């Protein structure tokens, strides 16, 4: 596993007139080893850009990323996108097997790993199905199983439930936490849903509008497992929403 340290991280993108468009400015963030951290902010503020930088998909314009105790090149990073991004011409089992093969897991070990993680998300009976025959929620489960199966040190999640109905999303949040409790990965989960952030997270980091910075971090002192009906979840999410609206309002 790994602790993530972002120090004075900034990122700008060129515009058509040649002027830089600042998206992230002096972002400082620590995600502790085995912590489930949520990153909350308005749409378009740069949350996905931040994840892409951590994943090594794009470089920062300034600042640094450190994985405490590990060489950045050796950190195994899993990434779950907004869409499951499954290979529709491969079966459910083959989707997991492909990810394991890319990570260098020996052929003889892969079937047991695939079976284990499909069973953990309740899809072992669908291992021979193709993604397009599954519901959106089931496809999301496959994506989660695939990400956990590679045993990442860090798992990045980019609003994976935002395209699902609330009933399905609630069940998948429970399933995700059940799996996380077993595996205890370091997780950074981004969302614009304050209730989701409070329900899932050990801590909620709050981002401003673009150019974004993390202006507040809130520990979530609620025991696990959590109940959606707990009034403390509603109280905390409302406090966070009020804090976010006050900050965004100042920038308008």
Distance CA(10)–CA(190), nearest Å, equals: 18
Whether the CB-CB separation of 191 and 159 falls below 8 Å is answered with: yes
Beta bridge partners of 21: 13
Taken in order 61, 65, 70, 76, the sign of the CA dihedral is negative
Whether the CB-CB separation of 128 and 141 falls below 8 Å is answered with: no
Residue 251 pLDDT > 60: no
Q: Nearest Cα to 219, choosing from 233, 205, 234?
A: 205
The whole-number pLDDT of residue 69 equals: 66
Q: In what order do the strands lie in the sheet with 3-14?
A: 20-31, 3-14, 62-68
Domain locations in the chain as residue ranges: 84-151
Whether the CB-CB separation of 205 and 242 falls below 8 Å is answered with: no
Taken in order 92, 98, 99, 101, the sign of the CA dihedral is positive
Distance CA(27)–CA(53), nearest Å, equals: 12
Across the chain, mean pLDDT equals 93
Task: Give tens-digit pLDDT for 99-121.
Answer: 999 999 999 999 999 999 999 99
Distance CA(232)–CA(113), nearest Å, equals: 38
Residue 252 pLDDT > 60: no
Mean pLDDT of 16-38: 93
Whether the CB-CB separation of 117 and 145 falls below 8 Å is answered with: yes
Instruction: pLDDT band for 72, please (50, 70, 90 cuts).
Output: low
The whole-number pLDDT of residue 44 equals: 86
Task: Give tens-digit pLDDT for 117-131.
Answer: 999 999 999 999 999
In the numeric block, the tokens 């309002």 are attached to 249
**pTM of this structure:** 0.94
Q: State the Cα angle at 21 between 157 and 38, rounded to 5°.
A: 20
Instruction: pLDDT band for 233, please (50, 70, 90 cuts).
Output: very high
Residue 4 pLDDT > 60: yes
Q: What are the CA-CA distances from residue 194 to residues 50, 51, 201 (Å)?
A: 19, 18, 10
Q: Nearest Cα to 3, choosing from 79, 89, 65, 95?
A: 65
What residue spans of 47-185 are helical by DSSP H?
A: 47-54, 92-102, 110-120, 136-149, 166-183
Task: Give tens-digit pLDDT for 136-175.
Answer: 999 999 999 999 999 999 999 999 999 899 999 999 999 9
Mean pLDDT of 222-242: 94
Task: Give tens-digit pLDDT for 178-220.
Answer: 999 999 999 999 998 999 999 999 999 999 988 999 999 999 9
């Amino acid at each position: 596993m790994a602790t993530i340290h972002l120090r004075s991280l900034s990122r700008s993108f060129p515009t058509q007139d040649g002027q830089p468009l600042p998206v992230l400015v002096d972002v400082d963030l620590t995600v502790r080893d085995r912590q489930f951290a949520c990153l909350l902010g308005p749409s378009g503020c740069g949350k996905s850009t931040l994840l892409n930088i951590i994943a090594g998909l794009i470089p920062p314009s300034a600042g640094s990323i450190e994985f405490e105790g590990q060489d950045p090149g050796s950190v195994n990073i899993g990434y779950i996108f907004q869409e499951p991004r499954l290979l529709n011409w491969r079966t459910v089992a083959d989707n997991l097997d492909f990810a394991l093969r890319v990570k260098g897991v020996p052929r003889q070990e892969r079937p047991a790993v695939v079976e284990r993680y499909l069973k953990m998300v309740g899809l072992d009976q669908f291992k021979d199905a193709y993604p397009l025959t599954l519901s959106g929620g089931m496809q999301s489960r496959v994506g989660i199983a695939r990400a956990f199966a590679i045993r990442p040190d860090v798992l990045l999640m980019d609003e994976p439930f935002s395209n699902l109905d609330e009933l399905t999303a609630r069940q998948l949040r429970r399933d995700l936490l059940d799996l996380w409790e077993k595996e205890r990965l370091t997780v950074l989960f981004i969302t614009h849903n304050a209730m989701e952030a409070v329900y899932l997270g050990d801590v909620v980091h709050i981002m401003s509008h673009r150019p974004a910075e993390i202006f507040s971090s809130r520990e979530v002192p609620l025991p696990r497992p959590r109940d959606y009906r707990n009034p403390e979840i509603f109280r905390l999410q409302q406090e966070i929403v009020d804090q976010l609206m006050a900050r965004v309002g100042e920038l308008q």
